[in-house]
Amino acid sequence: MRFLFFFLTVGISITTQAQNTADILIKNGKILDGTGNSWFYGDVAIKNGKIIKIGNLIDYTAAKTIDATGMIVSPGFIDVHTHIEGEEMKNPTADNFILDGVTTVVTGNCGASNIDIKKYFQYIDSLRLSINIATLIGHNDVRKAVMRTANRLPTEDELKKMEAIVDQAMKDGAVGLSTGLIYIPGTYSNTDEIVRLSKIASQYKGVYASHMRDEGDSVVQAIEEALFIGKEANMPVEISHFKLSGQQNWGRSKETVAIIEKARKEGIDVTIDQYPYTASSTSLSTLMPDEILADGQDSIKARLQRPEVRKYISAYMLKKLKNRKLKHFSYPVVAFYRADTTMNGKSIEEVNKIMGRKSKAKYETETVMDMMQKGGASMVFHGMSDEDVKRIMQYPFNMFASDASIRIYGQGAPHPRGYGTNARVLSKYVREEKIISLEEAIRRMTSLPAQKFGLTDRGLLKESFAADILIFNENEVQDLSTYEKPHAYSKGFKYVIVNGQLVAENENHLGIRSGMTLHGKGTTAQRIF
Ligand SMILES: [Zn+2]
């Protein structure tokens, strides 16, 4: 209804005054253009999905005028690390992203994506979301398509098949190759395999985006591997959700950020991203040794029935716990356990007690194995220090990314980052703790990710650029999602405009779905919208 009204009024204004008319006119805002420069007072005129004029626009009229007095007008945020696959249809309005200021996401991260990118884009174009979508091609799914979850290196023939899939995906518009080297089957690959596939993506100016082999004790080797791949394949590197996991590694961001900076000085185009929280979110299976997880759930189940295997896993888990200097599995908290949803929100230590077992780490490992036998669970791991989060945040070539999907309001106990990443940066880290400036935060949410992923007409408030625009009050913006009560939208993003259409007004999603698919440089496809 609103949608129809919007178009009718636009039509009328065009016929009455051909010159200097706009679809939307934003008046008297503090224009923060995404370059990192500070704001200036001005107006923004939008027409046919584009920014047509910025300045003192007294001679413009529009069907819709927004008074932005006292508010920041910035480019819409680009979230470079998301996982929306499978949730698009359930909630195409992507409210959690829109109400946190996100107008574009890059999905297909951590090695997990659709294989047929052409089909995926057709699907998204027919569905239409409220946000723009770019996607990576995920190594794990490419490998699975050729060799399932086999725990071995590929033959030359298999590698060629994988190369062909990556080649087609890049031609169909993927923006790069992603890896998830802690997951099955990515973890069974070696560096050479990734280099071979990266070289294909590199031919189409793709980015190598990696969830590295390790984010804890062996993080330095893992960073070196990612940099080596970038160098060998001659392509830009994005290290995903940059962090230090495990108490024994706290403080080492000094060392790891320095490695990134040194690599840049040596000419490697490497950037990083982070979510502004001290807990991570991943599968329960990451507590297990890799070799237990090969060949699918049936094989995992069978292995977990053998007492000697259980003994081996238990010893492995206890050693890892000891490394963390912890006595209990108190840091992994269940987000969603399909077999028994009453466990959602409880730590493994608590789940173990509820199951009636003695409160000892040894029994907690048994509890984890039982949960794995019943299909596993998604988890929130409380394993980082705020000091590291802040030090990484201060690095100028670090972006903010939610590592989240489209949320279904009220479903499960997901990590709060899916609702509040950007609002949290702007409230906690910019306004309250002054870790970085507002201008710098906005640059990292807009022009830096746009440049990195080749989204050349987005990420800045600039004439002829796509009209993805936010209007917000820097003193009011606030994340409300917490670990305990994750289902809460951020507040403060008063207006959200995607491709020239008003998607949210007064912090309410209007149901408008004006997002597009954004294709990488290898694409030969025509833009549909
Ligand atoms: Zn990841």
Show pLDDT as tens, one digit a residue, over the chain (529 residues).
445 444 444 444 444 444 699 999 999 999 999 999 999 999 999 999 999 999 999 999 999 999 999 999 999 999 999 999 999 999 999 999 999 999 999 999 999 999 999 999 999 999 999 999 999 999 999 999 999 999 999 999 999 999 999 999 999 999 999 999 999 999 999 999 999 999 999 999 999 999 999 999 999 999 999 999 999 999 999 999 999 998 899 999 999 999 999 999 999 999 999 999 999 888 899 999 988 988 888 899 999 999 999 999 999 999 999 998 899 999 999 989 999 999 998 999 999 999 999 999 999 999 999 999 999 999 999 989 999 999 999 999 999 999 999 999 998 878 999 999 999 999 999 999 999 999 999 999 999 999 999 999 999 999 999 999 999 999 999 999 998 789 999 999 999 999 999 999 999 999 999 999 999 988 865 444 3
CA of 381 to the centre of ligand 1 (A): 13
CA of 211 to the centre of ligand 1 (A): 5
Task: Supply 233's token pair.
Answer: 């394949």
CA of 183 to the centre of ligand 1 (A): 9
Contact assessment for residue 144 and residue 154, using Cβ atoms and an 8 Å cutoff: no
Residue identified by tokens 């949803």 is 341
CA of 310 to the centre of ligand 1 (A): 27
Contact assessment for residue 110 and residue 180, using Cβ atoms and an 8 Å cutoff: yes
The per-residue pLDDT for 290 is: 86
Contact assessment for residue 517 and residue 493, using Cβ atoms and an 8 Å cutoff: no
CA of 149 to the centre of ligand 1 (A): 18
The per-residue pLDDT for 525 is: 53
Contact assessment for residue 426 and residue 477, using Cβ atoms and an 8 Å cutoff: yes
CA of 274 to the centre of ligand 1 (A): 11
CA of 481 to the centre of ligand 1 (A): 21
CA of 110 to the centre of ligand 1 (A): 5
How many Cβ atoms are within 10 Å of 289's Cβ, its own excluded?
Answer: 13
CA of 238 to the centre of ligand 1 (A): 12
Contact assessment for residue 168 and residue 152, using Cβ atoms and an 8 Å cutoff: no
CA of 399 to the centre of ligand 1 (A): 15
CA of 223 to the centre of ligand 1 (A): 14
CA of 18 to the centre of ligand 1 (A): 50
CA of 112 to the centre of ligand 1 (A): 9
Contact assessment for residue 229 and residue 208, using Cβ atoms and an 8 Å cutoff: yes
Q: Report the distance separating Cα 406 and Cα 174, nearest Å.
A: 20
CA of 404 to the centre of ligand 1 (A): 10
Reduce the DSSP state of residue 360 to 3 states and report it: coil
> Counting Cβ atoms within 10 Å, is residue 221 exposed (0-12), middle (13-18) or buried (19+)?
exposed
The continuous run of DSSP H or E covering 199 comes out as helix 191-203
CA of 179 to the centre of ligand 1 (A): 8
CA of 291 to the centre of ligand 1 (A): 19
The per-residue pLDDT for 17 is: 46
CA of 240 to the centre of ligand 1 (A): 7
CA of 239 to the centre of ligand 1 (A): 10
DSSP track, 371-396: HHHTT--EEEEE---HHHHHHHHTST
CA of 517 to the centre of ligand 1 (A): 22
CA angle 108, 114, 120 (to 5 degrees): 105
CA of 109 to the centre of ligand 1 (A): 7
CA of 177 to the centre of ligand 1 (A): 13
Q: Report the distance separating Cα 384 and Cα 231, nearest Å.
A: 29
CA of 461 to the centre of ligand 1 (A): 30
CA of 295 to the centre of ligand 1 (A): 21
CA of 160 to the centre of ligand 1 (A): 26
CA of 181 to the centre of ligand 1 (A): 9
CA of 431 to the centre of ligand 1 (A): 28
